[in-house]
Amino acid sequence: MINKLVIANLMHRPIRSLLGIVAIGVVVCMMLTLVGLSRGMLQGAAERAGGVGADVVLRPPGTSLLSLSSAPLNQRMTEFLVTQEGVRLAVGQVVFPIGGIDTITGIPYKEFSELSGGFTFRSGGPMQSPDDILVDEYYARQRKIKIGDTLTLINHEWKVSGIIASGKLARLVVSMDRLQELTGNEGKISQVFLRTEPGTDIQALIARLKEKLPGYPIYSMEEVVSFFSVENVPGLDAFINVIIGISALVGFLVVFLSMYTAVLERTREIGILKSLGASPTLILRIILRESVLLSLCGAAAGIALSFATRWIIQTLVPASLTQVLVPDWWAIGAVVALVGALLGTLYPAWRAASQDPIEALSYE
Amino acid sequence: MSSEPIIEVSDLRKIYRAGDVDVYALRGVDLTVQRGDFLTVIGPSGSGKSTLFHILGGLMKPTSGIVKIAGQDIMRLSDAQRTNLRKVTVGFVFQKYNLLPILSAEENITIARTIAGLPQRPPAEFKRVLEVLGISHRMHHKPRALSGGEQQRVAIARALVNQPEILLADEPTGNLDTENSAIVLKLLRQLNEEFRQTVLMITHNPEAASFGHRTVTMRDGRISESLD
Ligand SMILES: Nc1ncnc2c1ncn2[C@@H]1O[C@H](COP(=O)(O)OP(=O)(O)O)[C@@H](O)[C@H]1O
Ligand SMILES: [Mg+2]
């Protein structure tokens, strides 16, 4: 019966209830989308790195896996590395930032193909000239690029010769020589991929290399892939926490307003319940139950909405953004909504519970 | 009539603090009501009738005096105990019906049982009360779909569903036309006669007052005369 009353109350003001649910839904969705994006982008990066087919990566001194350095390494490094015991292939690479989080990657095509087993072409094929460019399918879809199109990047016109399957190395791939020229990095590279001889102990190899090349960050590919996680991106954790805080605050305000007006509007009804012998605790329980229901519906709406944002991102900007579903965060989202809602209900509920029945009954 | 009175009030006083002004609403009320009685209270507006009923119904604390309801001394009850008094010992009927607009007639009645912590299903005898009230066929309607007379009869059913010892009705016909007033007054008398329901009713209509066994008049916070 109490539940019936709670539901009847919510149904009695469908627009307000709906608005409350949508507002909570939007903040929960915002949370899930953000976490999903952070994870999705990192997973995408990890996947592309893993797809290269290398066992070990060597980076310039003083850099981390996530820093976008242009090309501080001497290209001769590859020649040195390939002479080391256990190393079969050493392939350099130039990564150049082109604004935002986009980068363009230059590779020696033949050596890279040997390392990675080559690109999978969705259409077109390998570069025919140094001014050809390969773009991955998401980038092509997002920018509506076809084979033979011209792309202007770094003040240079590139001709699209192939559209490659996503998940290997990068979204934009050009000839390393041409990229070095264009960016004034002749003879310089950003990092080196190593492929080991079968049966090589990778950790031992890394230890040996570190001894010879002190100060150079050297990682196994496994490390690289596992490095792409939320905890390892400076500030991302804090950023997500801020978003959670804002979500809880908005949930609090929405529910506070909604329940505050509901309690005012129902002053008389609360007086009636009290005249029938409803204790303050019972009134409190009714109001709390209503806001719990409101926030749980809001959380469910938020989860549903996060599927929608994922679909929209996948359809509109698949190359720039990747959102994954984060079911492990659904409960967190619901709890944040719930905590915000309960805090927002405390004062209105207390007001309702402590109303004098006679005064409440004479309220118009 | 049994010897033990169901209501015993003596030297009851109530002072309202309205800002800096003290309003003496009750100035020493003495009243005894026997079980099964039908008492009507008349008196001019502002004479303290509602205040008296609110105290008898456990909705408000008196300032001083003795009030015994069904053997319990109201002055000594805690808030929780006064709440309990409202649940089962007294049933209240107001001038403005005071039904919950979002619930059906039936739900308005059963919620009183839920609040009292009783099984939702009313006792079998209650069926007869509904028959007397003549609202059995209107139970699934929301209050706004009912006439004033019907709403007041639902409110009476709600007041009686927990089988209270006392029914307090504060101007129950104040919002009703002559025809519906007559129906409600006859019903109250029938409930009193058939179920020996103790009824106390406020009215300022002397004709309505004649429906009771006994009428008292309030004036300036005192009961000034008593007619049998
Ligand atoms: N909450 C209150 N605060 C201050 N004065 C009140 C309050 N309620 C009633 N009064 C005053 O107490 C007196 C008695 O009121 P009431 O019991 O409602 O009379 P009646 O029901 O006979 O019209 C009136 O003078 C009224 O103005
Ligand atoms: Mg009155």
Instruction: Tell me the torsion sign for CA atoms A114, A119, A124, A129.
Output: negative
For residues B90 and A316, what is the distance between their CA atoms, to the nearest angstrom? 67
Q: Does A221 fall in a domain?
A: no
Q: Do residues A342 and A284 lie in contact, with contact meaning Cβ atoms separated by under 8 Å?
A: no
Cβ-based neighbour number of residue A45 at 10 Å: 19
Q: Residue window 118-157, chain B: list those with CB within 8 Å of chain A.
A: 120
pLDDT at B1: 46
- Do A242 and A357 lie in one domain? The reply is yes
Amino acid at A46: A
Cβ neighbourhood burial of B207 (10 Å; 0-12, 13-18, 19+): exposed
pLDDT higher for B107 or A320?
B107
What proportions of chain B, in percent to the nearest 5, are helix, strand and coil?
35, 30, 35
Provide the token pair at A140: 């092509």
For residues B25 and A104, what is the distance between their CA atoms, to the nearest angstrom? 87
Comparing CA positions, the residue from A103, A123, A72 lying closest to residue A173 is: A103
Ligand 1 atom with least separation from CA of B48:
17
Comparing CA positions, the residue from B29, B39, B55 lying closest to residue B5 is: B39
Q: Does A275 fall in a domain?
A: yes
Domain boundaries, given as residue ranges, for chain B: 36-61+77-227
User: What's the mean per-residue pLDDT of chain A?
Assistant: 87
B43: Cα separation from own chain's centroid? 16
State pLDDT tens for residues A200-228.
888 999 999 999 888 888 988 888 888 77
* Three-class SS state of A187: coil
Whether residue B44 is predicted with pLDDT greater than 60 in this model: the reply is yes
Provide the token pair at A353: 């519970």
Q: Say whether residue B81 is in contact with chain A using an 8 A CB cutoff.
A: no
**Percent of chain A scored above 70 by pLDDT?**
97
- Do A79 and A211 lie in one domain? The reply is yes
**B50 CB under 6 A from ligand 1?**
yes
pLDDT at B46: 93
DSSP at A118: -
Whether residue B227 is predicted with pLDDT greater than 70 in this model: the reply is no
Strand partners, B31: B9
Half-sphere exposure of A310 (CA within 13 A, CB side): 21
Substitution target in A1, A276, A281, A283 with the highest count of B β-carbons within 10 Å is A276
Q: Whose CA is nearest to atom 1 of ligand 1?
A: B16
Among candidate residues A188, A216, A244, the one where a domain is terminated:
A216
pLDDT at B111: 94
Tokens 């007001």 -> residue: A351
For residues B209 and B203, what is the distance between their CA atoms, to the nearest angstrom? 6
Ligand 1 atom with least separation from CA of B44:
22
Instruction: Name the packing angle between helices A280-316 and A327-353 (round to 10°).
Output: 150
Quote the pTM value.
0.77
- Do A82 and A201 lie in one domain? The reply is yes
- Do A193 and A245 lie in one domain? The reply is no
Provide the token pair at A70: 């242009």
Q: Residue window 268-327, chain A: list those with CB within 8 Å of chain B.
A: 268-269, 271-279, 282
If you write DSSP's letter for every residue of A34-71 in order, what string do you get?
Answer: HHHHHHHHHHHHHHHHHTT--SEEE--TT--TT-----
Provide the token pair at A39: 């994870």
Q: Which helix (H) or strand (E) holds B67?
A: strand B64-69
- Do A286 and A259 lie in one domain? The reply is yes
Q: Does A227 fall in a domain?
A: no
- Do A307 and A249 lie in one domain? The reply is yes
pLDDT at B228: 47
For residues A358 and A272, what is the distance between their CA atoms, to the nearest angstrom? 9
pLDDT at A71: 67
DSSP at B74: G
Whether residue A32 is predicted with pLDDT greater than 80 in this model: the reply is yes
Provide the token pair at A150: 């011209």
Ligand 1 atom with least separation from CA of B45:
23
Ligand 1 atom with least separation from CA of B49:
22
Q: Does A129 fall in a domain?
A: yes
State pLDDT tens for residues A248-307.
888 788 888 888 888 888 888 899 999 999 999 999 999 999 889 989 999 999 999 999
Cβ neighbourhood burial of B76 (10 Å; 0-12, 13-18, 19+): exposed
Provide the token pair at A294: 């409101």
Q: How far apart are the first and last CA of chain B?
A: 15
Residue from the list A5, A9, A12 with its beta carbon closest to the beta carbon of B111 = A5
Closest approach of B36 to chain A, Cα-based (Å): 22
Strand partners, A90: A194
Q: Does A51 fall in a domain?
A: no
Closest approach of A349 to chain B, Cα-based (Å): 18
- Do A186 and A254 lie in one domain? The reply is no
Q: Which of A57-66, A82-91, A189-198, B101-110 has the lowest mean pLDDT?
A: A57-66
Burial A106-115 (b: 16+ CB within 10 A, else e): bbbbebbeeb
For residues B167 and B36, what is the distance between their CA atoms, to the nearest angstrom? 10
Whether residue A232 is predicted with pLDDT greater than 90 in this model: the reply is no
User: What's the mean per-residue pLDDT of chain B?
Assistant: 91
Q: What is the mean pLDDT of residues A135-146?
A: 89
Q: Which helix (H) or strand (E) holds A56?
A: strand A56-58
Q: Say whether residue A358 is in contact with chain B using an 8 A CB cutoff.
A: yes
pLDDT at B30: 95
A358 contacts on B by Cβ (under 8 Å):
54, 59-60
Cβ-based neighbour number of residue B186 at 10 Å: 12
* Three-class SS state of B71: coil
Which residues contact residue A299 at a Cβ distance below 8 angstroms, ignoring those fewer than 6 apart? Answer: A24, A25, A28, A330, A333, A334, A337, A338
Tokens 């309505």 -> residue: B208
Mutating to test ligand 1, I would choose from B26, B41, B50, B51 the residue with most ligand atoms within 8 A of its C-beta, which is: B51
Instruction: Tell me the torsion sign for CA atoms A336, A339, A345, A347.
Output: negative
- Do A207 and A64 lie in one domain? The reply is yes
Residue from the list A1, A277, A361 with its beta carbon closest to the beta carbon of B83 = A277
* Three-class SS state of A100: coil
Contact B111 A1 (CB under 8 A): yes
Provide the token pair at A219: 């990682």
B113 contacts on A by Cβ (under 8 Å):
1
- Do A157 and A79 lie in one domain? The reply is yes
Q: What is the mean pLDDT of residues A83-105?
A: 86
Q: Say whether residue A354 is in contact with chain B using an 8 A CB cutoff.
A: no
Q: Which CATH fold would you assign to the domain B36-61+77-227?
A: Rossmann fold (3.40.50)
Q: Does A312 fall in a domain?
A: yes
Which domain, by its residues, includes A340?
2-44+234-361
- Do A127 and A209 lie in one domain? The reply is yes
For residues A157 and A30, what is the distance between their CA atoms, to the nearest angstrom? 38
Total domains, chain A: 2
The listed range with the strongest mean pLDDT (A94-108, B125-139, B155-169) is B155-169
- Do A190 and A262 lie in one domain? The reply is no
